[in-house]
Structure 1
Amino acid sequence: MRTSSSLTSMKALPGFASLFKPRSARVFSPAASWLLVMPLLAVFAIGFLYPLAKLVDLSFSEGITATYGRLLDDPLYADVLLTTAAVALSVTMAAILLGYPVAYAMARARKRTAFIVAACVFVPLWTSVLIRSYAWIVLLQRNGIVNTLLIATGLTDQPIKMLYTQGAVTLAMTHVLLPFVILPIFSVLRTLPDDYIRAARNLGAGPARAFFLVTLPLSLPGVFAGATICFVLALGFYITPALVGGPGSMLMPTLIGQQTTVLVDWPFAAALSTVLLIMTLLVVILFRKTLSVQKGFGSVH
């Protein structure tokens, strides 16, 4: 009793009761908030902005004509850039077409089935990209499992060249980047109430019509997020194209690696990296604009 009465009297003191109030971010002044954020901003500036600025500065170190002018004079580099964008777009489209049904199954299946599907999605993420890329070499080589099965079933008389092609690069990159498309779509689908589908069905819509008119439009933010992540990662992918594509598959990351390690032309490699960075930023802005337009159409309807 004495302890409780003493606590009551202490709480009654001026300023002491404020210690028992829940604190939130609004309690801190702007100066204190900036002071708390400064370590994160310092790490961001030192670890990202400064190296990026040095990269751009290095691309201009020998003059614009010696680096960026070289990109315009030789059509090879424009072809490599277009090939990189085409491969990234193909990988993104394939990942969406393959990943959306998996994400839909994870969101709509029962707990045990959803757990099994989620395990199949997450387990590859625990494996190194190098190992997953090398696995495709084992599958697609001339004496690999795929050619062995094709010959054994009589579909072909001799091994088919599947390795060291753009198709092999697209297939392997789609397999590696597929979880990065599934997870954003799944995170949106699982938040959609089932009442929307029931309402559409009660109004006379069939399962397919309810999906295309209700579920698919509402899940587009997840589709755009997954497509953005997949496309940006595909633009800068290096290990899989280098292993599965071989010397015949020349993409921008492979070209940049060649300029830095083989030719030791750092200014030109910096120019290539800057062009690839600008292209990545334009893609992100385009996806953001597309998503905002889609939301605007959704609000109108």
Structure 2
Amino acid sequence: MTVSLHDRSMPAKAMGRFRPPSAFWLIAPAILFLAFFFVFPLLKLVAISLPDGSAEHYRQIFTTPVFLRVIGETFRVSLIVTVVTVAIAYPYAYAMAHGGRAALLVLTVALLIPFWVSLLLRSFSWIVLLQNTGLINDFLIAAGLIDRPIRLIRTPLGVIIGMVHILLPYAVLPLYTVMKKIDLRLMEASSICGASWLRGFARVYFPLSLPGVMASAILAFTLALGFYITPALLGSPRDMMIAQMIAGQFNEQLNFGLGAALAVVLMVLTAMAFGLFGAARAALQMRDRRKGEA
């Protein structure tokens, strides 16, 4: 009987002696901060989008052509911006990684300067540059390339230019981090084996830089989906993106339920896009692993 009581008291004593690991107390403030300022507002947003448990706002979004058009336009513009941004960021990051100390210093300063200027001011600067009497049209006319001003402002092209300029630093940094670790002697080895520079780049360097390309594309695309200020200043109402529509529902229409539903839809679509990029990256890594094993 004594042994039985002793055995029964063991779990209680073990529970009493349980102490959370010391690392838990280091991350506890961060967990509480995220729970209070991130998780709770998200749950509140979802609750507002479902008044009385009704999904009417979501039904309205996915059955109204104007909402579907805006969502499609948002993804179309974001995809174009991502492709253009990564295409420009790739050679820029290559020059930073392999261009020497002087080139690295100059390119790094040029890359970081935009962070010191507000997003609103940079967007207004593009209005000055892109308008019919702006510097770009004046230069093209003076060079004899065009006879009359080209409409660049209030067009999708103007929106894409402004968004690419703002997202470029975010795309360059992941690429530079990966490219800095690539040994250029691999390119020399490919040339010794008889491959041209272009073939060696396509077969050796570019595959090694793909993790940076994927990270750059994910960052640029997810940020582009939520752009508001730049499309509002450089685009037209026909080129409205979903963030502008969300702001309109909250600030102008005072339809908080529909605005919250649009915000939830944007978050879900962004998470799905992020998941697709992650799946593509995992597939590439698996392919490379199989090639290495073969």
Same fold (TM over 0.5): yes
Query: Which of 180, 191, 206 in structure 1 is aligned with 2:196?
Result: 206
Partner of 1:247: 237
Deviations 1:226-276 (A, max 9, x none): 100100000001110111114342110010111111101111000000110
Give the superposition deviation at 1:40: 1.0
**3-state SS in 2 of match to 1:219:** helix
Query: Which of 16, 22, 29 in structure 2 is aligned with 1:39?
Result: 29
Query: Which of 125, 131, 149 in structure 1 is aligned with 2:121?
Result: 131
**How many residue pairs align between the two structures?**
273
Answer with 60-69 or 82-91: which moved more.
60-69
Give the superposition deviation at 1:148: 1.7
Conserved in 2, the CA contact under 8 Å of 1:140 and 1:163?
A: yes
Separation (CA, whole Å) in 2 of partners of 1:220 and 1:269: 37
Partner of 1:153: 143
Separation (CA, whole Å) in 1 of partners of 2:20 and 2:211: 33
Partner of 1:5: none
Conserved in 1, the CA contact under 8 Å of 2:73 and 2:239?
A: no
Q: What runs of 5+ residues in structure 1 fail to find an aligned partner?
A: 1-28
Conserved in 2, the CA contact under 8 Å of 1:232 and 1:280?
A: yes
Separation (CA, whole Å) in 2 of partners of 1:156 and 1:204: 46
The one-letter amino acid of 2:169's match is: P
Q: What runs of 5+ residues in structure 2 fail to find an aligned partner?
A: 1-18
Partner of 2:56: 66
Give the superposition deviation at 1:39: 1.0
Separation (CA, whole Å) in 2 of partners of 1:51 and 1:137: 35
Separation (CA, whole Å) in 1 of partners of 2:110 and 2:33: 35
Deviations 1:270-300 (A, max 9, x none): 0000110001001111111111111111112
Partner of 1:178: 168
The one-letter amino acid of 2:265's match is: V
Separation (CA, whole Å) in 2 of partners of 1:39 and 1:61: 33
Separation (CA, whole Å) in 2 of partners of 1:157 and 1:111: 43
Give the superposition deviation at 1:146: 1.6
Give the superposition deviation at 1:63: 5.1
The 5 A counterparts of 1:220-231 are 220-231=210-221
Conserved in 2, the CA contact under 8 Å of 1:62 and 1:267?
A: no
Give the superposition deviation at 1:30: 4.6
**3-state SS in 2 of match to 1:171:** helix
Separation (CA, whole Å) in 1 of partners of 2:52 and 2:111: 47
Separation (CA, whole Å) in 2 of partners of 1:200 and 1:158: 50
Give the superposition deviation at 1:33: 2.2
Q: Does 1:53 align with 2:54?
A: no
- CA RMSD, 1 decimal: 1.4
Sequence identity (%)? 36
Conserved in 2, the CA contact under 8 Å of 1:106 and 1:114?
A: yes
Separation (CA, whole Å) in 1 of partners of 2:148 and 2:26: 66
The 5 A counterparts of 1:79-158 are 79-158=69-148
| CA shift in 2, pair 1:206/1:52, >3 Å | same
Deviations 1:139-194 (A, max 9, x none): 11121112222333333333222100111001110011011111100100001123
**3-state SS in 1 of match to 2:253:** coil
| CA shift in 2, pair 1:38/1:44, >3 Å | same
Conserved in 2, the CA contact under 8 Å of 1:141 and 1:163?
A: yes
Partner of 1:77: 67
Partner of 1:274: 264
